[in-house]
Each structure stands twice: as C-alpha cells, then as structure tokens.
C-alpha cells in the first residue's frame, strides 16, 4: 500500500466535489489583502483630503489656492526645492564619484555619514541649526553683528531642507556607480578623453536614469519636509511658511476647506513625482544591466 | 616603439606588487607577461599604460619618460580584460570614440572618422554589427570591438590585459590565432598579460615570467620552456617532476641514478633539486644500470599522449611519465608493472630550497646506447 502511494506513476486518487487549488487561491488572497490594506491606509485618506477640499465647491477651492499667502507658501516651497535639489545633485555626484571611482581612507565613514539625515529626527535637525545659527547659538552673535539673519528666515529653511535631503541622490548613485566600476572611465582616459569629456560622454550617460530617479525622490522629500522646517521657520505668514507649514496654520485656524485645498496641492505634487518615478524605474532597470 | 622599464617598484599597502623590475621591449615585438595571479604582471601593464604609477623607477616609451607625458600624446592602445566597452554607445560609436574626443585641431573630419571606423570594423569582421550595442554581442565580438577601439587612435603601443581570459576555449583559440596574424600584419609593439602558459608560448615572440613581483625569466617560448631559469619557471611552464638530488664530485645523484656533470662548479658537495619533464624520461621494462626502479600506479590513455603515474624507489615519491602511443604499445605497460627509468634531459638547481643558484643541464647523448649520462654545464648564474 505504502509503496503504491509513493510511486509517482500511480494516479493520485481523485477528490470529488468542490476543491480549491492552493496555487490559485494563495496569490489571490495575498493580492486582495495588499489592495485592501493600501485602500484603507493610503487611498482613503487621500480621497478624504480631496473630498474635504471640495466640500465648499470648486470656487472656494481655487480661492483658497489663489490666496496670496498660499501662493507665497507655494513659492517658498518651490524655492527651497529648487535650491536644495541642485545642491544635493552636485554633492551626490561628487560623493558617489569619489566613493565609486577612488580608494581613500575613511570611505566607509563617509558612506555612513551621508545616511545620517535618514536616522536623525527632522526636529533634531531643526534644533541643531537653531543651536548653530540662532541668536544665542555658536555663530549667532557674529551673524547678528553683521546683520545676517538665518534662523526664522528663508536661509534656514533652505539649509535644513538641504540637510534632510542629502542622502537621496548620493544613495541612488553610489551603488550604481560602484557596480559599473571604473574601467569605462579608464578606457576613455586612455583613448585620449579629457576629464570633462569623460564625465559628459561616459559617466553621465551611464548614470542618467539613476540620477533622475534620485532627483525625483529628493524633490518629493524637499517639498514635503515639515519637522525641521517648522523648528527654524518662525511661522511668519507669507514670509517663512512653506506649503506644509501653511496647511498646518490653516488647519489650526479651523479653516479646513483652505487647509485641505492646499494639502491636495501637495498630494498632487507627490502623485506627479510618483508617476515620473515609475517611468524612470524602467530606464533605471536598463542601466543596471 | 620600444618600451624600457627601469627598476620599477610598486607597493599596495604591505603587499609588494613589483619588486625592482627592469625589462626592455623592442619595437614591433609581441611580448607576453606570464605568471600566476598576484604576481605583478597586470600591475606592470597598468603602469606602462599610465593607469597606475610606480613608487620607484620609471617607464620610458621611445626614450621619453612615460609618466611625464600627457595621456593624449602617449597614444597607448589598451584592451581591458572585461572589454570596458561604453555600454550606452553603439559598436560604431565605441570605435569612433578616440577620434571624436581629439582636440579640434587634430580631429579628423566627420567623413574621415566614418571611413576609418568602417575600415576597422572590416578588420574585425563586424561591419554589419555597427549599430548594435555591446550587450547585444557575444564575448568574442566584444573583445574584437575593444581591440578595434584601441587601434582607432593608431597607438604606438598596444597593451592587452588577459585578452582571452573571459572567453570559452574554442573562441579563445580562434582569437589567439587572429591576434597573432594581426600582429604579423601591423607590427605594433604589443604586450599582453596572461596566466595561461599555453597562450603565452603559442602567441608571443618573447615571454616574461613573473612570480611574486619579480621577473623570473625573459626569453623566447622555446627558451623558457626548454631552459627554465628557476625552479618556479620549470614548475609553472608545463608539467615537471621534481626530485631531491645531491651533487658530489661532478655528479648529480637522483635516487639510484647518477648523472655526470660536464664541469664541476668547484663545490664538491651540495644539495640540489632536479627537474625532469614527463616526456624526457626513458622507460625500459628490464633492469638497467644507473636507472631508477619504479612501479606503475595508473595509466591514462587519452589522446596522443599516454600519461603514466608511477611510484619510484627507494623513497616512494610519485612521478609522471608521458609516452607516445607507439612507445606505450611497444613496452606493454600496465598497472602494477615494474619499470626502470632514466632521464634523457634534466635540469639541476644546486643549493637549499629557498636559494637555488647554480644550474646544470644534463642531456644524455643518444640516450638508447649510453649507459652513463653525458652532462652539459650551463654555467653559474644568480637567480634569487
């Protein structure tokens, strides 16, 4: 009996009636769970934002967005993003280039340091900048005597935004450039290409997708940063409020239609970056091979 | 163009990659740098190319110090082990790269570049692949593109790092022959690195054998195979049997075999090591004077050569003998046979294991009749 059951040649006994094939049911179950989870955790709140924003009609929605203070907040957010992304682009490229293409002491320390903003709470970041540049901070007296204002002004907002977005581009490029090695650059060098020619013709084309991907992630983070900016901003309406801060101010004023309208703007920006990211990922995949 | 390497040293941390290496490569030569991995051969190639720098000593290309010249003027063709083709460029663009990056003054016209690249693609027989990307090519095709790209700038020197290392055996053999023919055609001073002794012996005009950052021997393939300068070279190039040997009064004793050295080197007593190629051993079934007795352990009759493993008396050390099929069939050897062995040629190094200095070639004149070995003294030479 036992030997017959173990014999693969003998047909399996057929079961009658309803039966489920586990190979079909398990993936279905997993997919359904994941979708439900995403629906509850991600989609529902986003939908709620839109619904709340449009509660008083489309006219009120656009009035809220067109408010001078809202536009000022949008401008400040754009400014912080536009300044911090190129800064980190430059830094990320330099860091990734040196880490991937050269050997030097303290390389692993540099790699770890780049990731610090990921693990440090943004509030701590904000406070540390206040400690450095605030009126009673290390450089405070000097800055005051020279009439330079950093904390509770735009410079601090830009600085902390740069700080929290430091890792995004560098972290995208380091593994990519390490995997690609340095031989192509060496080959270009031996073929007579000068340093800049090597960068434009060989290095940059090889990392362009990874670079764009990092820029997108960096922009998304820069636009959405709240904690660190909140500490150093001083919340001066129309002057030092970024879009996320402005949303909070409106919400605290019980102006929920305007708050959700501005929040939906942030959400929309995030969705757009997400879509660009999805497109870029395909290109990035090609680059890795 | 000639390359002169003068007293080059290179250290990576505590690892001495090159230890006072000097070498002259003549114009138009095809030279192989041969050695096990970590022996310094690739480091030397990279220093010649200017990709690494020597800690001491220098490299002169055509009597000019290579390190002080601008890379653009050095015009060195380099082929990387893993090709290092530009992955985002087509085959055509890869080959054209070296021409396109030239300064405006020296850059050929668009038409001239196109013509030149087409010629090179014809040379590597990949004309119809001009629009393909590197990842769409086979390993052998990529290797040829890498070569065409290096040749496009009309280099004065061609350097190849393990050019066939990443290819399968069949393609490797074809490419090897192709490179040899190409070299015969264009006579470009070429240096290639390899760890494959067969490749080095087959392709190169001269072979430079490396071990532990030092040059062990420089010579033609026949030289280094027939007259290895050091025990390392003997062991690295082809198979070799190694025997402990004693030198006394103009004789070398290997087991029960006594070989006469033509000239005594003035040392009445010395320890030494004798090396004998498996195909340089004469086998006879009957007892012979001055022969070493051995028992057959294993017989492998594969291909043109019959490989026999034996245990020799009196010390019981294992050794290999290679016979032609005719010899083997004539002798009727099988597992367990007792045979008598006489070396036809041997190379003897005197001294302790670490410092084998003097060396002797022992060659039996017309081996069949002579009972006493005739030896030729190869002179004293200092090899560390």
The per-residue pLDDT for range B278-300, each reduced to its tens digit, is 998 989 888 888 888 899 999 99
- Tell me what pLDDT residue A87 has: 94
The per-residue pLDDT for range A127-180, each reduced to its tens digit, is 998 888 887 878 888 888 888 888 888 888 999 999 999 999 999 999 999 988
Q: Which residues contact B101 (CB under 8 A, 6 or more apart)?
A: A188, A191, A192, A193, A194, A197, A201
DSSP secondary structure of B158-190: EEEESTTTTS-HHHHHHHHHHHHHHHHHH--EE
Where residue A82 falls among pLDDT bands split at 50, 70, 90?
very high
Taking CB atoms and an 8 Å limit, are B98 and A194 in contact across chains?
Answer: no
| pLDDT digit string (tens) for chain B, length 384 residues | 789 999 999 999 889 999 999 999 999 999 999 999 889 999 999 999 988 889 999 888 877 777 676 666 678 899 998 899 999 999 999 999 999 998 888 888 999 999 999 999 998 889 999 999 999 999 889 999 999 999 999 898 999 999 887 778 888 888 888 888 888 888 899 999 999 888 899 899 999 999 999 999 999 999 998 888 888 898 888 888 888 888 877 778 877 788 777 655 555 677 788 888 999 898 988 888 888 889 999 999 888 889 999 998 877 778 899 999 888 888 888 888 899 998 888 888 877 655 565 566 666 543 333 333 334 334 333 333
- Tell me what pLDDT residue B363 has: 63
- Tell me what pLDDT residue A14 has: 55
Residues A227 and A125: their CA atoms lie apart, in Å, by 9
Taking CB atoms and an 8 Å limit, are A190 and B76 in contact across chains?
Answer: yes
- For A288, the closest chain B residue by CA position comes to B87
- Chain A residues in contact with B152 by the CB 8 A cut-off are 191
CB nearest B84 (choices: A186, A193, A201): A186
Taking CB atoms and an 8 Å limit, are A189 and B51 in contact across chains?
Answer: yes
- Tell me what pLDDT residue B376 has: 39
Would you mind telling me the total number of residues written for chain B in this entry? 384
Q: Are A132 and A232 in contact (CB under 8 A)?
A: no
- Tell me what pLDDT residue B32 has: 95
- Chain B residues in contact with A205 by the CB 8 A cut-off are 88
- For A103, the closest chain B residue by CA position comes to B12
- Tell me what pLDDT residue B100 has: 93
- Tell me what pLDDT residue B263 has: 58
Return the residue matching tokens 């195909």: B279
- Chain B residues in contact with A190 by the CB 8 A cut-off are 49-51, 71, 76-78, 150
CB contacts < 8 A, A to B, total 57
Residue B132 tokens, joined? 């393909």
- Tell me what pLDDT residue B231 has: 85
- Given a cut of 60, whether residue A3 has pLDDT beyond it is no
- For B160, the closest chain A residue by CA position comes to A187
Closest by CA position to B7, among listed B23, B30, B31: B23
Where residue A19 falls among pLDDT bands split at 50, 70, 90?
low
- Tell me what pLDDT residue B44 has: 94
CA distances from B109 to A196, A225, B92, B100, B311 (A): 22, 53, 16, 9, 71
- Chain B residues in contact with A196 by the CB 8 A cut-off are none
- Tell me what pLDDT residue A2 has: 44
B88–A contact, CB cutoff 8 A: yes
């Amino acid at each position: 009996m036992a030997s017959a059951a173990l014999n693969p040649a003998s047909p399996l006994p057929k079961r009658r009636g309803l039966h489920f094939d586990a190979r079909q049911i398990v993936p279905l179950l997993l997919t359904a769970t994941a979708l439900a989870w995403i629906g509850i955790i991600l989609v529902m709140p986003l939908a709620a934002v839109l619904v709340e924003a449009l509660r008083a009609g489309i006219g009120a929605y656009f009035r809220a967005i067109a408010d001078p203070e809202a536009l000022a907040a949008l401008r400040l957010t754009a400014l912080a993003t536009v300044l911090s992304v190129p800064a980190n682009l430059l830094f990320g490229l330099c860091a990734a280039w040196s880490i991937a293409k050269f050997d030097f002491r303290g390389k692993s320390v540099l790699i770890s340091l780049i990731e610090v903003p990921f693990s440090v709470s943004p509030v701590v970041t904000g406070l540390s900048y206040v400690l450095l540049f605030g009126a009673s901070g290390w450089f405070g007296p000097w800055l005051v005597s020279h009439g330079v204002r950093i904390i509770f002004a735009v410079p601090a907002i830009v600085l902390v935004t740069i700080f929290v977005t430091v890792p995004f581009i560098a972290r995208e490029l380091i593994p990519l450039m390490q995997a690609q090695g340095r031989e192509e650059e060496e080959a270009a060098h031996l073929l007579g290409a000068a340093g800049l020619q090597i960068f434009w013709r060989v290095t940059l084309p090889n990392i362009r997708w990874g670079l764009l991907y990092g820029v997108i992630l960096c922009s998304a983070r820069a636009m959405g940063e709240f904690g660190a900016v909140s500490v150093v901003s001083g919340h001066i309406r129309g002057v030092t409020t970024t879009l996320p801060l402005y949303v909070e101010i409106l919400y605290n004023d019980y102006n929920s239609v305007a708050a959700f309208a501005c929040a939906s703007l942030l959400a929309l920006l995030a969705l757009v970056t997400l879509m660009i990211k999805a497109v870029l990922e395909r290109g990035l995949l090609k680059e890795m091979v | 163009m000639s390359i002169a390497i003068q007293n080059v040293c290179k250290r990576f941390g505590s690892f001495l990659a090159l230890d006072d290496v000097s070498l002259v490569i003549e114009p138009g030569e095809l030279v192989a740098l041969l050695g096990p991995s970590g022996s310094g051969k690739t480091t030397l190639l990279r220093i010649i190319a200017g990709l690494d720098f020597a800690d001491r000593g220098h490299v002169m290309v055509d009597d000019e110090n290579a390190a002080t010249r601008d890379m653009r003027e050095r015009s060195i063709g380099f082929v990387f082990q893993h090709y290092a083709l530009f992955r985002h460029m087509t085959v055509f663009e890869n080959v054209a790269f070296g021409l396109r990056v030239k300064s405006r003054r020296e850059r050929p016209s668009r038409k001239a570049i196109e013509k030149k690249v087409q010629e090179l693609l014809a040379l590597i027989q990949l004309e119809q692949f001009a629009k393909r990307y590197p990842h769409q090519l086979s390993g052998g095709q990529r290797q040829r593109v890498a070569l065409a790209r290096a040749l496009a700038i009309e280099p004065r020197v061609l350097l190849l790092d393990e050019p066939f290392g990443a290819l399968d055996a069949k393609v490797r053999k074809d490419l090897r022959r192709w490179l040899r023919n190409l070299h015969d055609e264009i006579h470009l001073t070429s240096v290639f690195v390899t760890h494959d002794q067969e490749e080095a012996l087959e392709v190169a005009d001269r072979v430079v054998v490396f071990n532990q950052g030092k040059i062990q021997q420089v010579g033609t393939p026949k030289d280094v195979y027939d007259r290895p300068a050091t025990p390392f070279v003997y062991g690295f190039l082809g198979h070799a049997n190694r025997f402990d040997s004693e030198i006394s009064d103009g004789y070398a004793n290997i087991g029960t075999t006594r070989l006469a050295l033509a000239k005594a080197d003035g040392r009445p007593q010395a320890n030494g090591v004798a090396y004998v190629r498996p195909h340089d051993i004469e086998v006879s079934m009957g007892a012979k004077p001055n022969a070493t007795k051995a028992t057959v352990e294993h017989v492998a009759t594969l291909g043109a050569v019959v490989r026999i493993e034996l245990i020799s008396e009196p010390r019981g050390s294992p050794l290999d003998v290679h016979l032609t099929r005719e010899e083997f069939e004539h002798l009727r050897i099988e597992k367990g046979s007792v045979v008598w062995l006489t070396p036809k040629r041997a190379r003897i190094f005197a001294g302790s294991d670490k410092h084998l200095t003097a060396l002797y070639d022992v060659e039996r004149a017309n081996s069949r009749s002579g009972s006493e070995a005739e030896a030729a003294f190869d002179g004293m030479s200092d090899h560390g």
